[in-house]
Amino acid sequence: MEFQAIVDRLRALNAPGIVEVDEPRAPDKETKDKGRSGRPFVMIEPASLVDILHLCRDDERLQMEVLIDITASDPAVDDANLWILVELLSVKHRHRLALKALLPKANPVLPSATAIYRAAQWHERECAEMYGVTFEGHPDPRNILLPDDWVGHPMRKDYEFPTEYHGISCE
């Protein structure tokens, strides 16, 4: 299915929390809009992420069996939101879907998708340690790549690099 068809299907299923569709657009000189290239996303409410994933996996026409990726992006230091990006793949129908959710940096809490896709477990652990997103209901919320006692969330744009770690100078 093409992207538009997937979105229509989601809308037809009354998928909760769909905000809008973020599609690439051509640059417009009059409004000084630089445009956006790349791929389209479905913007969703972060709270309804789990429901939408459930829907995407179980609906027979979407049938997204594989969760490819869950990650976050910090667009800028002064941006109030983190972007949560979810990439889904349907092996049977051979289509993809990308979801995007804006999560306030002040309180980045997201329900965990582990119950739906086991693949989410490690992605969420990585996302949690790198961006400080709390995944509610995650069965094993330890650090995965960083040491257990690491302070801060390194992938955030406002992260300050430590000058020492356990007495070892990193300058």
Q: Indicate the burial class of 160 (C-beta count within 10 angstroms; 0-12, 13-18, 19 or more).
A: exposed
Min. distance of Cβ 45 from other proteins in angstroms? Answer: 19
- Residue 34: how many CB atoms within 10 A of its CB? 10
d(C-alpha 120, C-alpha 144), whole Å? 13
Q: Which of 31, 38, 107, 163 binds other proteins (CB under 8 A)?
A: 38
Tokens of 154: 């390194």
Please identify, using beta-carbon distances, which residue of 20 and 140 lies nearer to other proteins.
Answer: 140
Position 146 contacts other proteins (CB under 8 A):
yes
Q: Which of 6, 10, 15, 41 binds other proteins (CB under 8 A)?
A: 41
Q: Which of 118, 136, 151, 162 binds other proteins (CB under 8 A)?
A: 118
The phi, psi pair for 95, rounded to 5°, reads -135, 165
Please identify, using beta-carbon distances, which residue of 73 and 81 lies nearer to other proteins.
Answer: 73
Position 76 contacts other proteins (CB under 8 A):
yes
- Give the CA angle between residues 99, 104, 106 to the nearest 5°: 150
- Nearest to 133, CA basis, from 120, 119, 149, 147: 120
Element (H, E) at 55: helix 49-58
Q: Which amino acid is at 7?
A: V
Min. distance of Cβ 27 from other proteins in angstroms? Answer: 7
Min. distance of Cβ 48 from other proteins in angstroms? Answer: 21
Interface residues with other proteins (CB under 8 A) are 24, 27, 34-39, 41, 65-69, 71, 73-76, 85, 87, 89, 91, 94, 96, 98, 117-119, 121-123, 126, 130, 139-140, 143-147, 154-155, 157
